[in-house]
Amino acid sequence: MAAPDLGSTEWERSKISAQDINLLKKLGLSKKKDALRFPSEESYLTPPIGYRVSFVDHLIRGLAAPIHDFLRGLLFVYGLQLHHLTPNSILHISIFITLCESFIGVHPNWALWKRIFLLCRNGSANIAYNIGGVVICVRPDVEYFDVKFPDSVQGWRKKLLYVLDECADSLEHNIPPFNGNEKILRRRSWDAEATDEEKSATEALMTRIHELQNTRGQELSGIQITTHFLRIRVQPLQARKNPLWMYASDKDEDRLSTDLSVKDLEKLVRKISSLSKKDTVPSSCRVTPYSATNALPQPLMQQFICLGTLFFGYPDHANSLKEDLAKANKRADDLALKLAKSEKAREKAELESASVESLRKRLHDTENALSEQLAREAGKTSQEYQLEKPKDDRLLDALSLLEIYGDEVRQSVSDAKAAFSRIFPYFFPKTDEPNTFAALAKRFIPKEDLGLALRQENLKIGVESTIALVAESQQSVNWAKVGDVKDMETKKWQSMIKAAKPSSKKILSFLRYKPTPSSSSAKPEVK
């Protein structure tokens, strides 16, 4: 099977270092058997069954399988795959989910997301990226946390690996199937803004975010939020049993590993941010996050959880698409019904065309009867009455043409069906022949070249027959070297073919095969 054309030179062989593998182990991302697989020397990506393509820099920023349903909702609404997002965009989503669950006390929701973020293409004047071709940006009119992203993440596209998708049989949390050919298409949802109703419902959430940013002595920063989810060892973008406001410290079921050492934690924070060795990594958050030991205030929890579930994920968008799909299906059913009626009308016309001779006879009899009646009324006999200008009768001329063309069409269709039926077994062996002519003809107009496939099959049979004859004659031939021959000059090829003709005639005689005339100097076609 030929390798798929990924349509981009961005895909390269995976280059993951021992340090990367060691970091993934410390984060607990590879503690389950076969949770991660590393590509070898593949020039194109072929994830094993149940696995998806991911990147080291995505995983260390909070991604893990099975993915959080809010992330899957974003991918669905925006029409993206995971490899379309940059590492900084992945971190944006992780921080947003952590902010909602740990510091506001709500599920991440679509309405609040639209008030803060939009999507932009990532590229330059001469390059439009596919891997990392989309960037999540904060709206220019929104006051949000300074996350201190690095200016660029060097070499992240080369750190490819396969992640076991534990929910591969479930559409609720699984990662969308990988398609390296899929191009990024900008959608209107990239710029979607919150409606007036959504703005009203999320105003309390925006007020809470501003309080977290601006309360003197208790200012919350993007680095604090990032350090928090890395410290508690829960991946924000993973589907979890409990939201982060129920985090139960060392006993929490969603933790992937034990606490990182202070040195490892600070090193990881600096790796995914713009902090230098001189900058201090926060040891804790100025605002105590909600958890099992710091429960949500009851009135606040009831109000915010209601808001969170109201706009959670993408059900409204999905329902809208389902309605559009139902309309499209109804339209297709109506067209199918009209097509069936048209088919019946065509069959009826063919039957009427087949009975044109009977119709002409009936017209002729009617014409004679009218002639006799007119003759009697005019005092003439039927022998004396004659039609005026019988050669200029338009009705008779039209019927004659219809009869002629109808016979030609029926004969042509019959001949074509007989021809297709005769060659069908050669092009489609072990396949039942379609009953209708339309279906039979359609099989001979595929996208691929059927003639090329047949010639290649005949060439394969010829090569295998030659090898069998040589083996039977007990001649010693190194077939491995024969298979390596390439780029032979045309003149030499023609001379070799000419020298082989006497022997080929004997072989064909033995096989009782009568070849059709063709150019013997042409090289065989290969795909």
Class of residue 518 by CB neighbours under 10 A (exposed 0-12, middle 13-18, buried 19+): exposed
The total of other beta-carbon atoms located within 10 Å of residue 110's CB is 23
pLDDT tens-digit series, residues 473-525: 777 888 777 777 777 788 887 888 778 777 777 777 776 666 554 444 444 44
Q: Which two tokens stand for residue 295?
A: 């429960």
Instruction: Please tell me whether residues 245 and 100 are part of one structural domain.
Output: yes
Q: In the predicted model, what is the mean pLDDT of the chain?
A: 79
Domain that holds residue 469: 450-511
197 in any annotated domain: yes
Q: Would residue 357 count as lying in a domain?
A: no
454 and 309 both lie in a single domain: no
- What total of structural domains would you count in the chain? 2
Note the pLDDT of residue 1.
Answer: 35
pTM: 0.58
Judge whether 330 lies within some domain: no
Residue 335 domain flag:
no
**Considering the domain boundaries, does residue 416 fall inside one?**
no
| The predicted structure's pLDDT at residue 382 | 40
- Position 418 scores a pLDDT of 85
User: What is residue 319's predicted lDDT score, i.e. its pLDDT?
Assistant: 60
Interior/surface letters 36-61, b for 16+ CB within 10 angstroms, e for the rest: beebeeeeebebeebbbbbbbbbbbb
In a domain, residue 366? The reply is no
For residues 421 and 415, what is the distance between their CA atoms, to the nearest angstrom?
A: 10
Assign 3-class secondary structure to 6-40.
CCCCCCCCCCCCHHHHHHHHHCCCCCCCCCEECCC
| pLDDT lower than 70: segments of the chain | 1-10, 43, 124-128, 167-173, 298-322, 324-325, 349-350, 352-360, 363, 371, 373-399, 511-527
Rounded Cα–Cα distance for residues 71 and 108 (Å): 10
DSSP string, 186-208: --GGGG----HHHHHHHHHHHHH
Domain boundary among 280, 313, 346: 313
Query: Is 491 within the bounds of a domain?
Result: yes
Domain boundary at 282, 313, 344, which?
Answer: 313
pLDDT single digits (tens) 213-237: 988 888 899 999 999 999 999 999 9
Q: Is residue 301 part of a domain?
A: yes
Q: What is the pLDDT of residue 472?
A: 77
Check: CB of residue 256 under 8 Å from CB of residue 31: yes
